[in-house]
């Protein structure tokens, strides 16, 4: 099992094998990779488009909470990023 680093300053980014883009025909963000495409739901797309290797997870959560005028997203974002890491979609870098 691959897990995200415990270091609060670690920064998620899209894994090198994948490319995130908005796909007009799908009306959704997608992850492209050599063997195909993964259509993302709205939440996944919003999280992954912020995973550029520059923002720590806490900043991503804060941005999402401001964008969607809500609070308490930390557990959901952590859960998604853990699953995305396990699937190989996300890599983590240290500050």
- The domain limits of the chain are 11-87
Structure confidence at residue 60 (pLDDT):
97
In this structure, whether the domain defined by 11-87 belongs to CATH 2.102.10.10 is answered with no
pLDDT digits (tens, 9 = 90+) for 42-94: 999 999 999 999 999 999 999 999 999 999 999 999 999 999 999 999 999 98
pTM: 0.89
| Segments in the chain forming alpha helices (H) | 42-48, 57-67, 74-86
Report the distance separating Cα 2 and Cα 31, nearest Å.
19
Structure confidence at residue 51 (pLDDT):
97
The CA angle 91-48-90, to the nearest 5 degrees, is 15
Where does residue 28 rank: exposed (0-12), middle (13-18), buried (19+ CB within 10 A)? middle
Structure confidence at residue 2 (pLDDT):
42
Structure confidence at residue 94 (pLDDT):
84
pLDDT band, very low/low/confident/very high, at 8 (cuts 50, 70, 90):
low
pLDDT at 9 over 80: no
């Amino acid at each position: 099992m691959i897990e995200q680093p415990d270091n609060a300053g670690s920064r998620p980014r899209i894994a090198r094998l994948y490319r995130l883009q908005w796909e007009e025909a799908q009306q959704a963000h997608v992850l492209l990779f050599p063997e195909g495409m993964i259509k993302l739901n709205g939440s996944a797309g919003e999280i992954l488009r912020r995973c550029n290797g520059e923002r720590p997870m806490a900043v991503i959560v804060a941005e999402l909470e401001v964008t969607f005028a809500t609070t308490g997203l930390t557990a959901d974002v952590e859960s998604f990023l853990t699953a995305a890491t396990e699937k190989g979609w996300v890599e983590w870098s240290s500050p």
